[in-house]
Amino acid sequence: MTPVEAFQPPSRLLLGPGPSMAAPSVLEAMAKPLLGHLDPAFVGMMEEIKTMLRAVFQTENRMTFPVSGTGSAGMEFCCVNLIEPGDEVVIGVNGVFGGRMADVAARCGAKVTRVEAEWGRIIEPGQIATALAGIKKPKLVAVVHAETSTGALTPIPEISRLARDAGALMLIDTVTSLGGCPVELDAWGIDAVYSGTQKCLSAPPGLSPVSLSDRALEVATHRTHKVQSWYLDVNLLASYWGAERVYHHTAPISMNYALHEGLRLVLEEGLEARFARHERNYLALKNGLETLGLEIASQPGHQLWQLNSVTVPEGVDEAAVRARLLADFGIEIGAGLGPLKGKVWRIGLMGESSSADNVEIVLNALGQILSENTN
């Protein structure tokens, strides 16, 4: 076999739906020497990660930690621990990830009621109320807070109240929202949540921060059936992430270093300042797009600061524009998914990627390409 040279990744500015740019100090943290996953120093760092996650999630939940796996592993973690065969669940579907949640819940044996909204629009509380009225004993209500596939931000507090009043647990997907806009688990009455490291936390993909309320933990620990996933069973994971430190699996050491540093940077900047930065850069992008004759496709008043679905002008080859951005400018943006395929570009301004300089860079590059397309 011919010797293979060491891989050298090309320089890219990641302004797509994820991953975002990793902070330089996060990459430096990943290069630090490995420790054993039960080393006292690593265990001490685990405790700091849990404390910082509680601060970013705005919760006092004791069961708050990172699942070893990407955001979809966090989704499965929440579903397999809280859903048993025959449970009735209500899931908002207004994009790819709501649909994925419905699929995962069905694989857990749930009877799923899908509450559908047009892609790019939010799930309305009235839709959830109507669905709950038709169910005798709902176990769970689940909604994607920030739908990465469309750029829509669904308000959560009223939906959570409806779930509580119906006696159901409330689950939200915060993969794209955590660290970029307010996520307030305790104030909103959230029972279960999952997120990801590769968006607004400015780390590589590989861990999924999760949190369960005491109410949700009670459900998970008093099941009729065993959790269908050994790897994601919170009853087992609690012994590793809790005081006992019983071996469960070999944690991804370097990824935990990365998350620790990413969370440290979030809290060093301050949540309010970080949210303001994301909003400021979203507004600058939106205004710049308007000068180019472009507009954001998601529902006005409910547009994500972190992820912008931009309507592709009539007659423009959206794939060709993305290819030019990558080849000539080293900029990655995302394509549309599902019914939005070929109709939108997805421009991410998440975490380390959310800066005034990056807004200017992508607007200038888009403007140049589009002007050539119309000449």
pLDDT at 241 over 90: no
pLDDT at 134 over 90: yes
pLDDT at 49 over 80: yes
What residues does 76 pair with on adjacent strands? none
Do residues 350 and 307 touch, judged by C-beta distance below 8 A?
yes
Q: Crossing angle, helix 96-107 and helix 71-82, to 10 degrees?
A: 40
Q: Would you state the structure tokens that stand for residue 153, as one six-digit string?
A: 């931000």
Q: Would you state the structure tokens that stand for residue 333, as one six-digit string?
A: 């943006």
Record the pTM: 0.96
What pLDDT, on a 0 to 100 scale, did the predictor assign at position 247? 82
CA distances from 143 to 116, 222, 259 (A): 11, 24, 25
SS3 of 23, please? Answer: coil
The residue-averaged pLDDT of 12-24 equals: 97
The residue-averaged pLDDT of 159-180 equals: 98
What pLDDT, on a 0 to 100 scale, did the predictor assign at position 270? 98
Which residue ranges form the domains of the chain, and what is each CATH number? 13-17+271-374 (3.90.1150.10), 25-267 (3.40.640.10)
| The amino acid at 81 | N
Q: Would you state the structure tokens that stand for residue 95, as one six-digit string?
A: 């994009």
Least confident of 37-46, 91-100, 136-145, 170-179: 37-46
pLDDT at 193 over 70: yes
Task: Give the CA diameter of the chain.
Answer: 68
The angle formed by the CA atoms of residues 135, 141 and 143, to the nearest 5 degrees, is: 135
The residue-averaged pLDDT of 324-348 equals: 97
Q: Would you state the structure tokens that stand for residue 305, as one six-digit string?
A: 């600061």
What pLDDT, on a 0 to 100 scale, did the predictor assign at position 372? 86
* Band of pLDDT at residue 240, cut at 50, 70 and 90: confident
The bridge status of strand 152-153 relative to strand 169-173 is unpaired
Do residues 335 and 322 touch, judged by C-beta distance below 8 A?
yes
pLDDT at 375 over 60: no
Give every CB contact of residue 287 below 8 A, 6+ residues apart in sequence.
Answer: none
pLDDT digits (tens, 9 = 90+) for 243-269: 777 888 989 999 999 999 999 999 999
What pLDDT, on a 0 to 100 scale, did the predictor assign at position 374? 65
User: Closest Cα to residue 195, out of 350, 325, 330, 301?
Assistant: 350
Q: How far apart are CA 154 and CA 127, in angstroms?
A: 12
What pLDDT, on a 0 to 100 scale, did the predictor assign at position 55? 98
Instruction: State residue 262 phi and psi, 5-degree precision.
Output: -60, -45
* Band of pLDDT at residue 275, cut at 50, 70 and 90: very high
pLDDT at 127 over 70: yes
The residue-averaged pLDDT of 201-225 equals: 97
Q: Would you state the structure tokens that stand for residue 233, as one six-digit string?
A: 């069973």
The residue-averaged pLDDT of 281-305 equals: 97
SS3 of 13, please? Answer: strand
pLDDT at 109 over 80: yes
pLDDT at 107 over 80: yes
Do residues 307 and 151 touch, judged by C-beta distance below 8 A?
yes
| The amino acid at 323 | A
pLDDT at 373 over 80: no
What pLDDT, on a 0 to 100 scale, did the predictor assign at position 244? 79
Q: Would you state the structure tokens that stand for residue 370, as one six-digit string?
A: 């589009």
Least confident of 118-127, 236-245, 284-293: 236-245
Task: Give residue for tokens 């999760």.
Answer: 210
What pLDDT, on a 0 to 100 scale, did the predictor assign at position 348? 98
pLDDT at 309 over 80: yes
Task: Give residue for tokens 């040279």.
Answer: 5
Average pLDDT score, the chain = 96
What is the percentage of the chain residues whose pLDDT exceeds 70? 99
